[in-house]
């Protein structure tokens, strides 16, 4: 018989009996259940993004008439022993509900098809326990004594402008699962297993029913369940074009990130005399991310000197030496989960050396060339091609290529990519690498539309031991990354206010440290 209690949907409690003991005496239980002020739930107005989330749900609903769609938020993930990483709801769940950093682990959004067409959206979550239960003091995962007050069903319903129910009622959804039900598999593997079990039960019952009537029927449930993968793809593609609220969030994230770069520059004199100066740079930026947003959108890269040649250097344990460049790739994630993704490469002592400036300005030239092709109707991959044309031409001029720039740009060659192996652009939004499950013909080969937001981030990286480059170039790594919005008539660089040219960067450092 199905378990209809809320505990059926919660993770198993972790034992802590070897290091602590939760009070359990009769006297304690009686006393702790009494003497509390009466709760008065104030219902908040619907949050600003609620109508935008409703419009997104309507768009995915139109793609799946008659099918039940299940989108879990996900659960806490273990960091070590009985400690967890900070919870972050799955991006598709956040996109469809408008719930961000205040979302509850274990919540599930269900789009139930109706006979009249379309879907009814219902959010299920572990509602607040009464003080007459032991959950509020004994459960470190959801108890108020441990993690603070939690909202009521009525408060969440008012906040998100959604039908909201307690998690125990999710049992009825599982009992109604059929072969047409789809689930976002990656969001909550444990809950996905329960959906798969329900689909198998449904299939077995249908087979038995049809055998009894001599009617042929069979159904196969595949472990990967391809229709689920298509749902994940469509939810990813749903974010390719941002709505007005999302674009406003991106502007706020960029502005907060700009303040973080100001903080880093102001602190460079301290960072440059510390044995782990890169850690100080990381910490200063992360402080801004926590004060002005939810957290960083991804691990901050603070790569000084030759570390700048390591594309995803996040150890950040090196020195920040005067005379070197420091490549800082960082973004503030807001409480809505929308994040910026910006890179600037700064001279630690405030002035670029001759070769450093040459490399820096070449990268900027590539970035400007890429931005120049951005407009509605252009193809996304053409942005990368424009940047690569500059990289090939300059590295050929410097005598680094064994072929001409034109030959290097041929598909079968690509020698210039030795010095920039990554792509120039990726979509950006609620994920730093947004829309990652979109089809290639919608992404890399997709046509640009107003409302798309993506990065432009060319770079040049000359490894310290690369014998194909002159000695004076070795150990220099430069990347310039900006966040770009496609407009009705062209493009807007959302991060253009953060200095970009070498001369502007030098003036920025001088003014900030004055």
Token pair belonging to 1: 């018989």
Q: Is 31 exposed, middle or buried (0-12, 13-18, 19+ CB in 10 A)?
A: exposed
User: What pLDDT sits at residue 142?
Assistant: 80
Among residues 221, 237, 253, which one ends one of the domains?
237
Dump pLDDT digits (tens) for 184-212: 999 999 999 999 999 999 988 877 766 55
Q: State how many domains the chain has.
A: 2
Letter string b/e over residues 411-436, b meaning 16 or more CB atoms within 10 A of that residue's CB: eebebbebbbeeebbbbbbbbbebbe
Q: For residue 366, how far is the Cα from the chain centroid?
A: 27
Alpha carbon dihedral 92, 93, 98, 99, in 10-degree steps, equals -130
Q: Based on the domain organization, do 329 and 417 belong to the same domain?
A: yes
User: What pLDDT sits at residue 130?
Assistant: 75
Q: Based on the domain organization, do 156 and 297 belong to the same domain?
A: no
Dump pLDDT digits (tens) for 217-265: 444 555 457 999 999 999 999 999 999 999 999 999 999 999 999 999 9
- Three-state DSSP class for residue 324: coil
pLDDT tops 50 at residue 442: yes
Dump pLDDT digits (tens) for 298-349: 999 999 999 999 999 999 999 999 999 999 999 999 999 999 999 999 999 9
Q: Which residue has the higher pLDDT, 167 or 14?
A: 167
Beta bridge partners of 108: 72, 124
The CATH number of the domain holding residue 275 is 3.90.230.10
Instruction: Out of 77-86, 319-328, 401-410, 459-468, pick the least confident.
Output: 77-86
Q: Based on the domain organization, do 221 and 335 belong to the same domain?
A: no
Q: Based on the domain organization, do 286 and 411 belong to the same domain?
A: yes
Average pLDDT, the chain: 93
Share of the chain above pLDDT 70, in %: 93
Beta bridge partners of 80: 83
- Three-state DSSP class for residue 234: helix
Nearest to 449 by CA among 437, 431, 435: 435
Contact 121, 110 (CB under 8 A): yes
Domain contains 502? yes
pLDDT tops 50 at residue 1: no
The CATH number of the domain holding residue 104 is 3.40.350.10
Instruction: Out of 196-210, 348-362, 430-444, pick the least confident.
Output: 196-210
Q: What is the mean pLDDT of residues 366-385?
A: 98
User: What pLDDT sits at residue 3?
Assistant: 46
Range of the domain at 486: 244-512
Residue 510: pLDDT band with limits 50, 70, 90: very high
**The pTM is what?**
0.94
């Amino acid at each position: 018989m199905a378990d209809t209690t809320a505990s059926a949907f919660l993770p198993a409690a972790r034992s802590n009996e070897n290091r602590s003991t939760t009070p359990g005496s009769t006297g304690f239980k009686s006393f702790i259940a009494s003497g509390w002020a009466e709760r008065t739930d104030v219902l908040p107005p619907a949050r600003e993004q609620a109508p935008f989330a409703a419009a997104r749900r309507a768009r995915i609903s139109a793609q799946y008439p008659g099918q039940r769609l299940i989108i879990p938020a996900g659960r806490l993930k273990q960091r070590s022993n009985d400690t967890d990483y900070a919870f972050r709801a799955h991006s598709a769940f956040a996109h469809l509900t408008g719930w961000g950093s205040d979302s509850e682990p274990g919540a599930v959004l269900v789009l139930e098809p109706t006979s009249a067409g379309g879907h009814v959206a219902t959010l299920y979550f572990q509602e607040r326990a009464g003080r007459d239960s032991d959950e509020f003091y004994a459960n470190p995962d959801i108890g108020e004594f441990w993690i603070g007050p939690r909202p009521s069903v009525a408060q969440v319903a008012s906040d998100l402008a959604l039908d909201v129910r307690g998690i125990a009622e999710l049992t009825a959804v599982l009992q109604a699962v059929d072969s047409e039900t789809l689930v976002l598999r990656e969001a909550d593997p444990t809950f996905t297993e329960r959906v798969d079990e329900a689909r198998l039960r449904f299939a077995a019952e249908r087979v038995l029913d049809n055998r009894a009537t001599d009617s042929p029927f069979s159904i196969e449930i595949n472990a990967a369940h391809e229709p689920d993968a298509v749902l994940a793809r469509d939810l990813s593609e749903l974010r390719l074009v941002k709505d007005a609220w999302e674009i406003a969030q991106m502007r706020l994230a960029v502005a907060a990130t700009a303040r973080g770069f100001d903080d880093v520059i102001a602190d460079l004199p301290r960072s440059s005399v510390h044995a782990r100066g890169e850690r100080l740079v990381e910490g200063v930026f992360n402080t801004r991310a926590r004060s002005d947003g939810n957290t960083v959108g991804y691990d901050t890269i603070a790569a000084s000197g030759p570390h700048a040649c390591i594309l995803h250097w996040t150890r950040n344990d090196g020195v920040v030496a005067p005379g070197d460049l420091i490549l800082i790739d960082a973004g503030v994630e807001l409480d809505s989960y929308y994040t910026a993704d910006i890179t600037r490469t700064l001279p630690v002592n405030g002035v670029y050396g001759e070769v450093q400036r040459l490399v820096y300005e070449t990268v900027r030239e590539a970035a400007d060339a890429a931005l120049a092709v951005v407009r509605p109707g252009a193809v996304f991959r053409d942005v990368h091609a424009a940047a690569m044309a500059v990289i090939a031409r300059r590295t050929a001029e410097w005598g680094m290529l064994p072929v001409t720039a034109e030959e290097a740009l041929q598909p079968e060659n690509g020698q210039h990519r030795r010095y920039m192996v990554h792509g120039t652009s990726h979509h950006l939004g609620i994920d730093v690498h947004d829309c990652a499950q979109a089809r290639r013909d919608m992404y890399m080969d997709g046509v640009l539309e107003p409302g798309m937001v993506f990065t432009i981030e060319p770079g040049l990286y000359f490894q310290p031991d690369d014998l194909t480059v002159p000695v004076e170039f070795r150990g220099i790594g430069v990347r310039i990354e900006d966040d770009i919005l496609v407009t009705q008539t062209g493009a807007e660089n959302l991060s253009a206010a953060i200095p970009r040219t070498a001369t502007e960067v030098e003036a920025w450092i001088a003014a900030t440290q004055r």
